[in-house]
A and B are shown apart, each in its own frame.
Chain A
Amino acid sequence: MKPPRVPDNATEKRLDDIREQAALGHLDAKGVRPSGSPFPEADAEHGYYGLPIVKAPVWTWEVPVYFFVGGAAGASSVLALAAQLSGAPHALVRDARWIAAIGAAASGPLLILDLGRPERFLNMLRVFKPQSPMSVGAWTLSLFGTASAAAAIGEELGLKRIGDAAAFVAALSGVVMATYTGVLLGATAIPVWAAHARTLPIHFGASALASATAVLELRGHDARALNVLGLAAAIVETSMGVEIESDKSVTSEPLRYGATGTTIRIGGFFSGPLPLALRLLGIRSKRARRAAAASALLGSLITRLGWIEAGKASAKDPRPLLD
């Protein structure tokens, strides 16, 4: 316990000073530190008391999970077509088509669940607006869902022509599925997303390719092409991580600090350097290839969650918009 203070000349002089200042209407006492101080200011530097300028995304877990599932499905349809045209094992083509179809089938419900009015989901197809990435995405998913289902089912029913034609359409729409989500985030008013409008489509595309190859490998397929493509994706993801780490701007702080920074870094580690190393080992070792696949799959999911959360953090910070 603190000993009781004893009044002396100095303490009493100070109290007299405070009284005189108060009588003149201005206290400059340094010791005044009320709870909550320093108080928020409204000026050019802090904006309006440091309050956010833009609104945070209202999206919950369904959207990043959709980015992950839809991206993997889209890239899987690309792998299906490439494998089919280059004469890869039939089982690989069949599985890739089914992964695309099942992923597309799961994507719709995820997006509908996220709507504020799910029963009105068909309004998405009321108009087509090329200037809205959300509209482009809704139409792409509709096309991709139909084509990827037809490709997988056509194959099962022995309707080779229909299946192959549908697989072609699925691959072309699938490659849009794998990349458009980067545009969806990039072309917004959220500072950290807008600052990466050019890199996000590449980042998400690589992430989608990595997860598609990973699902096929974990299903037991061992084509060398899968390891090569996984390696290429891991290289892109590693360079993305380097870019994020070397970006010291205020706008990109949510990618490096706080809970969102941690999420982005964990996602980046499992998407980039770790699978990169494992894939190099995987040239000889099947076990390393499996580990790389699991890592890339996990990294892809965490990365998408991280970017959505980083957007929410970015919206709360007015500084990038006060230049």
Chain B
Amino acid sequence: MAVTGFLTDSTLCIGCKACEVACKEWNDVPDDGFVWSGLSYDNTLALGHSTYRHVKFVERQPQAGCGGNSAERMTWEFSSDVCKHCGNAGCLEACPTGSIVRTEFGSVFVQPDICNGCGYCVVSCPFGVIDRRPDDGRAFKCTFCYDRQKAGAEPACAKACPTGSILFGKLDELEAAADRRIAQLHEAGMNDATIWNPKETSVGGTHAFFIVRGDPRAYNLPRSPEVPTRLLKQSWSAAAVAASVMLAAAFAAFSLSQGNAGVPPAGPAASRRRGVR
């Protein structure tokens, strides 16, 4: 089975949120709160336990001469965020029940019949994607429409996207398409368009990657995201040192200071030692 991916091309996004709606409908995701954020047109704010697609609205000062924007006007960028389906997925590594698995499509999937809601995946995701649904108790995130993919269909968000901003396909083909698209954008003068796909970090590349304009950090896409398992070696080494020292200290302290106990000795070994002293 081929590894599939999402290429989300922000230069084509019009901020219509059809992906959010399609995802909610197909996956039967509950509401994620009714709030006015005041942050541009974004009232969804973040991916989470009940938000698998999230359109970001980035308002900012432009780079002069890019893509028809003049320097006097601000830019208004839209980008549909989604679970990155990491090459080395923090949530998957952390899951103690084996609920989170890698599917035959290369995506990262939470099996809802296994998850017991321990919450360790929540603190292990470098992108703040997965979260525990309070009224349900289990962890949820983008399923990459595993059910639809198994039936040979594309994910709901990609199908509903009216501009081709969300592309679904084989990962290697999408990566080639992204390179072609960037060349095309640069040729058109949109020199600040870049691909965000952290291949050089411990995350090892993502199966959902993005074309954005300007600094990806404005979209909360970190430059060097890391999978938490990279810290295991140093942390377990410290634990091993601490454990050894504790054992050694306990034995040393008791062996060296026997005979000063305030409670009368009960065992024969204790009285023997006392006698020697």
The contact string, 1 if C-beta is below 8 Å from chain A, for chain B 108-138, is 0000001111111011111111111100111
Question: Which chain B residues border A129 with CB–CB below 8 Å?
Answer: 93, 95-96, 98
B250 on the A face (CB < 8 A)? yes
Q: B interface vs A, CB < 8 Å?
A: 38-40, 45-46, 48, 56, 58-60, 72, 90, 93-99, 114-120, 122-133, 136-139, 215, 217-220, 222-226, 228-229, 231-232, 234-239, 241-243, 245-247, 249-251, 253-258, 260-267, 269-270, 272-273
User: Quick one: closest A residue to B267, CB to CB?
Assistant: A90
Q: Does A31 contact B (CB under 8 A)?
A: no
Distance, CA A43 to CA B249, complexed state (A) = 52
Q: In the complex the two chains form, is A87's CB within 8 Å of B269's CB?
A: yes
Stretch at the interface among A97-105, A174-182, A242-250, A251-259: A174-182
Asked if A58 is at the interface (CB within 8 A of a chain B CB), the reply is yes
Q: Give A48 to B40 CA distance when docked, in angstroms.
A: 11
Chain B residue nearest to A223 in the complex (CB):
B261
Contact of B257 among A58, A188, A205, A225 (CB under 8 A): A225
* Contact across chains for B243 and A44 when beta carbons are under 8 A apart: no
* Inter-chain contact A224/B260, CB cutoff 8 Å: yes
Are B220 and A48 neighbours in the complex by a CB distance under 8 Å?
A: yes
Known: A44-B218, A78-B246, A201-B238. A132 touches B95 (CB 8 A): yes
**Contact residues in B for A56 (Cβ distance below 8 Å):** 122
Interface CB pairs A-B, < 8 A, 7: A42-B218, A54-B128, A87-B270, A116-B115, A116-B118, A134-B94, A206-B242
For B265, the closest partner residue in chain A by CB is A89
- A267 proximal to B (CB < 8 A): no
Closest Cβ of chain A to B81, distance in Å, is: 9
B116, B239, B254, B257: which contacts A115 (Cβ < 8 A)?
A: B116
Residue in B45, B59, B257, B260 whose Cβ sees the most chain A Cβ within 10 Å: B257
Which B residues are CB-close (under 8 A) to A298? none
- Is A179 within 8 A of B239, CB to CB? yes
Q: Which of A26, A59, A89 contacts B263 (CB 8 A)?
A: A89
Q: Which residues of B contact A229 (CB under 8 A)?
A: 249-250, 253
Residue A199 lies at the interface, judged by CB distance under 8 Å to chain B: yes
A149 interface contact, C-beta 8 A? no
Cross-chain contact A51 with B46 (CB below 8 angstroms): yes
| Chain B proximity of A241: nearest CB distance (Å) | 17
A277 to chain B minimum Cβ distance, whole angstroms, is 20
Interface pair A198/B238, CB less than 8 Å apart: yes
Cβ A187 vs Cβ B228 within 8 A: yes
Contact B272 A87 (CB under 8 A): yes
Q: What separation, in Å, do the CA atoms of A66 and B16 have in the docked complex?
A: 46
On whether the beta carbons of A183 and B239 are closer than 8 Å, the reply is: yes
A87–B273 touching, CB < 8 Å = yes
Interface string of A79-119 (1 = CB under 8 A from B): 10111011111111000000000000000000000111110
- Neighbouring B residues of A59 by C-beta, 8 Å: 119
Question: Known: A116-B137, A117-B115, A129-B98. Is A88-B270 also a contact (CB below 8 A)?
Answer: yes
Query: With A42-B40, A205-B239 given, can you name 10 additional A-B contacts, CB distance below 8 Å?
Result: A43-B218, A47-B218, A54-B123, A83-B254, A120-B97, A131-B232, A179-B242, A202-B239, A221-B262, A221-B263
Chain A stretch 106-148: residues in CB contact (< 8 A) with chain B: 114-118, 120-121, 123-124, 126-127, 129, 131-135, 137-138
> CA of A43 to CA of B60 in the docked complex: distance in angstroms?
7
With known contacts A123-B114, A127-B97, A228-B257, A54–B235 Cβ distance under 8 A: no
B128 in complex: contacting residue of A55, A78, A188, CB < 8 Å = A55
Residues of B within 8 A of A198 (CB): 234-235, 237-238
